[in-house]
Amino acid sequence: MDPEHDSVTGRKRSQRPQRTHHEVADELRARIRSGALRPGERMPTQAQLAHEFGVERGAVRQALRVLQSERLLTNVSKGSPATVAPDPVGALTGPEAPPLPTTVALAPRIATAFAAEHVEIDAVCLTSISLTLAIGEPLRQIHAGRLKPAKVDVRVLLPSRDIDLAFPVPVEGGGDDRVHERWLAMRNAQGQVLQHNLLALRATHGIDVRVTFRALPFTPPVKLYLLNGTEALFAYYTLTRREAEIDHERPAMYDAQGTRSMLFAFRQGAGLRDTTFVEQSHLWFNALWETISSELVLTS
């Protein structure tokens, strides 16, 4: 078990301030999906968890019920410790899998994908920030010696810098290029970080890595991640009105909070619906990649 997760056994108490039951559920969910809590393993008691997280037992019970509803835990009751489900990975996909925010769902799926000998990841997104964040988990596992793929191929489709974006855009309309420039800087910075972190695996671990970006002539209304030809993770970009600081001002804009988008998971072999969705998603991605997309250079 990783040192950062030692406290789940009660050997060390977290010094963090009191958390909500959602935060407790998020932490335990991450431990289950990273393998720190293994399938069939008995959880600590509710008293131990309450002590670790500095919360009341009621908050722990609520957190455990959330994870039970997601089919990650079984035997959740007041009388005995819960048990990690026999197949928590399978609970992430298939017709009954609950949609989860991108920040919760993507990293463990990317880490699982990196367990393959040849990792293949295709993505369609607005800035690649969620993918860049999610890649951090398998990178940590590679550096810790728990993962060692032989080859990694990543293809990313992002909006072209030369188009009029559908979003983000100023609420007041044209005449203000600062919102577009802010998006472009974010797109380039996140892409460069993703590229650098993955290509560094060549020197540090001898892994054959290829990272390629291409530009789309439109703003994608959805984000899509395709993993090893067997999984498709899909989310809508839902627009909101918000403000962001640009040049010491806070212009109003219509933008999407992509990291919070609810991610729907589909797995090949989990039924006709899932299998067809994965296959059609690959056809859609490859058609865009091979036809109307163009070379993308991550510079301002």
The number of C-alpha atoms within 13 Å of 247 and in the hemisphere containing its C-beta is 7
pLDDT tens for residues 6-60? 444 444 444 445 678 878 887 888 788 777 888 889 999 888 999 999 999 888 9
Quick: pLDDT tens for 96-155: 567 878 887 888 889 889 989 999 999 999 999 999 999 998 898 899 888 899 999 999
pLDDT at position 80: 76
Q: Residue 16: how many CB atoms within 10 A of its CB?
A: 11
CA distances from 93 to 122, 125, 265, 273, 278 (A): 18, 21, 5, 12, 12
- The Cα–Cα gap between 243 and 252 comes to 5
End-to-end CA distance of the chain: 43
291 CA to centre of own chain: 28
Domains of the chain, residue spans? 21-90, 93-295
Across all residues in the chain, what is the average pLDDT? 86
Q: Give the CATH number of domain 21-90.
A: 1.10.10.10
Query: Distances in Å between the alpha carbon of 267 and those of 116, 195, 223?
Result: 16, 27, 17
> What's the pTM value of the predicted model, to 2 decimals?
0.72
pLDDT at 9: 41
Neighbours of 2 (CB within 10 A): 14
Percent of the chain with pLDDT over 70: 88
Contact between 296 and 158 (Cβ < 8 Å): yes
Spell out the CATH class of 93-295: alpha beta
* pLDDT tens, residue by residue, 144-170: 888 899 999 999 999 999 999 999 999
